């Protein structure tokens, strides 16, 4: 995709003009170190967005606020290199977001904080994060975790799961005591 940067940006602007609602945008084949064109953030009509095999663009200078993705209900970040700050940016730009899926992704800062008034489902699937904190998510019903440390021996890359304010949480799944420590409010649940 890297050699086609101009065409990609032109194509994304065209999708924005056509008010596309669903977009799956995958950088295949590799290289994996290609930055997502920031023009994808100009498609304010999106309701579902899935991104694969990208580096998320640097957020300084990008448009910000609830007008960026006013209709976005579902986002999947698949094999995407994205920092915790960039995840927070996406959440802040998506006032009606209901589903956040981080799949096979690398979070360089590895301390992911998820806070959203509209989020109902959060998924961390085969992704690396030292801490995955759910804060101020009054509508969150499901938190799905699975193999948050792909390929690492048990205990080498533990993930602390912190749940702050999530009064509607009904499903909390696939915790592995050897790699997950669970903290709910002030209560810490550990192995043994």
- pLDDT tens for 128-182 read 777 889 999 999 999 998 765 555 555 456 778 899 999 999 999 888 777 778 8
- pLDDT tens for 1-46 read 667 788 988 999 999 999 999 999 998 766 667 888 999 999 999 9
The pLDDT of residue 80: 87
Handedness of CA 56, 34, 78, 182 (dihedral sign): negative
Neighbours of 99 (CB within 10 A): 16
The pLDDT of residue 156: 54
- Residue 125 near residue 102 (C-beta atoms within 8 A): yes
The pLDDT of residue 180: 79
- pLDDT tens for 67-90 read 999 999 999 999 888 888 899 999
Which one has a higher pLDDT value, 142 or 127? 142
Q: What is the mean pLDDT of residues 105-124?
A: 85
The pLDDT of residue 157: 63
The pLDDT of residue 150: 53
pTM, two decimals, is: 0.89
Q: How far is CA 184 from CA 128, 146, 159, 178, in A?
A: 21, 18, 14, 18
- Residue 74 near residue 47 (C-beta atoms within 8 A): yes
The DSSP secondary structure of 29-51, one letter per residue, reads: SS-S-PBPPGGGGG-TT-SEEEE
How far is Cα 139 from Cα 169, in angstroms, rounded to an integer?
A: 8
Q: Taking 80 as the threshold, does the pLDDT of residue 93 lie above it?
A: yes
Tell me the helices (H) and strands (E) count for the chain, helix number first. 2, 12
Which one has a higher pLDDT value, 169 or 105? 169
The pLDDT of residue 155: 45
């Amino acid at each position: 995709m890297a050699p086609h940067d101009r065409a990609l940006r032109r194509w994304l602007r065209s999708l924005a003009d056509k008010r596309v609602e669903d977009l799956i945008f995958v950088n295949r084949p590799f290289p994996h170190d290609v930055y997502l064109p920031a023009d994808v953030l100009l498609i304010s009509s999106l309701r579902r967005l899935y991104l694969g095999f990208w580096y998320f663009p640097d957020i300084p200078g990008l448009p910000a606020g609830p007008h960026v993705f006013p209709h976005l209900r579902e986002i999947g970040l698949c094999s995407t290199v994205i920092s915790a700050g960039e995840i927070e940016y996406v959440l802040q730009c998506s006032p009606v977001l209901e589903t956040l899926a981080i799949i096979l992704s690398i979070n360089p800062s590895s301390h992911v904080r998820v806070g959203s008034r509209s989020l109902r489902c959060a998924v961390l699937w085969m992704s690396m994060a030292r801490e995955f904190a759910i804060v101020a998510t009054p509508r969150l019903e499901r938190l799905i975790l699975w193999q948050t440390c792909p390929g690492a021996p048990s205990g080498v890359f533990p993930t602390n799961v912190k749940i702050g304010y999530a009064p509607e949480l009904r499903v909390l799944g696939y915790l592995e005591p050897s790699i997950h420590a669970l903290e709910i409010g002030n209560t810490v649940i550990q192995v043994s």
